[in-house]
Amino acid sequence: MRKYGVSVMLALMLYLMAPNVSAALEAEIAARAAALEDQVVAWRRDIHANPELSNREFRTAKLVAEHLTALGMEVQTGVAHTGVVGLLKGGLPGPVVALRADMDALPVVERTGLPYASTVRGEYEGKEVGVMHACGHDNHVAILMGTASVLTELREQIPGTIKFIFQPAEEGAPKGEEGGASLMIEEGVLENPTVSAIFGLHIGQQGLAGSASFRDRGFMASAQRFDVLIKGKQTHGARPWAGVDPVVVGSQIVNAWQTIVSRQIDITQAPAVVTVGSFHAGVRNNIVPETAELSGTIRTFDPQVREQIHVRLTRIATAIGKAQGAEVLVEIDEGVPVTYNHPRLTAKMAPTLRKVYGRDRVYVSGRVTGAEDFAFYQEKVPGFFFFIGGRPIDVLPEKAIPNHSPFFYIDESALVPGVKVMSQLAVDYLSMGGLEGQ
């Protein structure tokens, strides 16, 4: 009985002591993150002013690799073309967790007027384009660089290993190339050592700076790109009957596609979107061109709905082409799957978000029809993906600027909380012994 009583007493003492240790470490994370604010802002502005397109993130990768190397990490470069992976081994044994940030920018001409706005030009699909961090990946990189600094300073207190994944080509590799999360996985980013869970974030003006949102299970949509080539017959614009007009055929196809979601899919089961983003044909006003090209995106949350849309989109396009005497070729890529937050992992880690941001500033999100190739990691290991707010307090929700806009910007006060939450997620996950712990 005495031994039992001593054991109970010891367990009680350890239980009572644990919150104090945790609170002390939490305070240290917060203090170290706050001390890095100027550096994180400087990184972010430098990356923002020097954006790079998918699979071309050479300068960004060099910046990241040099930083991780200076911290004393094991660093691997050239993963999936330009990806960088840093490995931080804690001072105590434990599982392996991964933290991911995406590095690529978009072919967008920046119109924010910021003093560090991008003036970079690049090439995208054979065309000269402006290049801008219109999706906020510059913030993600700066946040994870700051997180690496914080956790390296706390290395001896970390029970496990942290893998920092700086990923290229989240927006999609250029046509004819491989890239992004799927290629990083193929090249072993989740192995040696084996990752047991992965965390990622995305910034946007959907929430105020200093807030966060998440959803368990299906969070962001599956997305596929489709490309359509319409082969008609060229003729003089004054004699359209002598040819087959691919512009008219394409117009009829685009119009008919609008009935897929509105009339052919049971949208009470799961939302879906079919959007045509580009329509190119011809070079002169009085020539009926030989070809037209359409390109767009499909967004779904259910595999069966996705398959139904693929079948209908192809059937409609080819049938209209046949009826008009044109040949229509449809290509639909594999795209990305649904961003699926593992339910148990989400339940375990949501309290960390509330701890960092406050209970009244963390929200459960609705479904998001945007897509994320973070979903590929989640197909392999449990993953938790969430949003952090970047909207300034003086911008009303209805005036929020969406990601991918040439006017997109963020309130930089969101950066330090981002460093805090990524650092705290890693420490909390490892401290509980991973998903199977506690």
pLDDT band at 438 (very low <50, low <70, confident <90, very high): low
Tokens 């990622």 belong to residue: 200
Q: Is the pLDDT of residue 125 over 90?
A: no
Q: Comparing 4 with 87, which gets the higher pLDDT?
A: 87
Domain boundary among 332, 363, 386: 332
Same domain, 79 and 170: yes
pLDDT band at 250 (very low <50, low <70, confident <90, very high): very high
CA neighbor of 183 nearest in space, from 76, 74, 78:
78
| 105: CATH | 3.40.630.10
Q: What percent of the chain has pLDDT over 90?
A: 92
Average pLDDT over residues 3-8: 45
pLDDT band at 5 (very low <50, low <70, confident <90, very high): very low
Same domain, 187 and 39: yes
Residue 20, H or E segment? helix 2-35
Q: Is the pLDDT of residue 46 over 60?
A: yes
Where does 125-214 show beta strands of DSSP type E? 127-130, 159-167, 197-208, 212-214
b/e map 281-295, b = 16+ CB within 10 Å = bbeeeeebbbbbebe
Same domain, 235 and 257: yes
| 250: CATH | 3.30.70.360
- Whether residue 438 lies inside any domain: the answer is no
Same domain, 146 and 49: yes
What is the rounded CA–CA span in Å between residue 153 and residue 157?
Answer: 9
- Go through the chain and tell me how many residues it has: 438
- Please list the active-site residues: 104, 170
Torsional sign, CA 271, 139, 105, 391: positive
Give the pLDDT confidence of 298-346 residue by residue, as tens digits. Answer: 999 998 999 999 999 999 999 999 999 999 999 999 899 999 999 999 9
Give the pLDDT confidence of 61-111 residue by residue, as tens digits. Answer: 999 999 999 999 999 999 999 999 999 999 999 999 999 999 999 999 999
Domains: count for the chain: 2
Please give the pLDDT value at position 17: 40
Same domain, 126 and 91: yes
- Whether residue 337 lies inside any domain: the answer is no
**SS3 (DSSP) at 15:** helix
b/e map 195-211, b = 16+ CB within 10 Å = bbbbbbbbbbbbbbbbb
Containing structural domain, residue 138: 2-219+344-431
- Whether residue 12 lies inside any domain: the answer is yes
pLDDT band at 270 (very low <50, low <70, confident <90, very high): confident
Same domain, 88 and 183: yes
- Whether residue 408 lies inside any domain: the answer is yes
Q: How far is CA 201 from CA 54, 207, 213, 228, 339, in A?
A: 19, 13, 10, 33, 12
Domain boundary among 283, 305, 332: 332
Q: Is the pLDDT of residue 22 over 90?
A: no
Give the pLDDT confidence of 191-214 residue by residue, as tens digits. Answer: 999 999 999 999 999 999 999 999
Q: Is the pLDDT of residue 268 over 90?
A: no
Tokens 């998440």 belong to residue: 214
CB 122 within 8 A of CB 188: no
Same domain, 313 and 350: no
For residue 155, count other CB atoms closer than 10 A to its CB. 16
Tokens 């946007």 belong to residue: 204
- Whether residue 338 lies inside any domain: the answer is no
Q: Is the pLDDT of residue 8 over 80?
A: no
Considering the chain, what is the average pLDDT of its residues? 94
How far does CA 292 lie from the centroid of its chain? Answer: 31
- Whether residue 48 lies inside any domain: the answer is yes
What is the rounded CA–CA span in Å between residue 103 and residue 85?
Answer: 12
CA neighbor of 421 nearest in space, from 367, 349, 364:
349
Same domain, 185 and 146: yes
Same domain, 198 and 227: no
Give me the DSSP letters along 409-429. ---GGGHHHHHHHHHHHHHHH
Q: Is the pLDDT of residue 18 over 90?
A: no
Domain boundary among 301, 332, 363: 332
- Whether residue 339 lies inside any domain: the answer is no
Same domain, 87 and 204: yes
Same domain, 159 and 84: yes
pLDDT band at 9 (very low <50, low <70, confident <90, very high): low
Same domain, 211 and 348: yes
pLDDT band at 16 (very low <50, low <70, confident <90, very high): very low
- Whether residue 173 lies inside any domain: the answer is yes
**SS3 (DSSP) at 172:** coil
Please give the pLDDT value at position 92: 96
What is the rounded CA–CA span in Å between residue 211 and residue 428?
Answer: 19
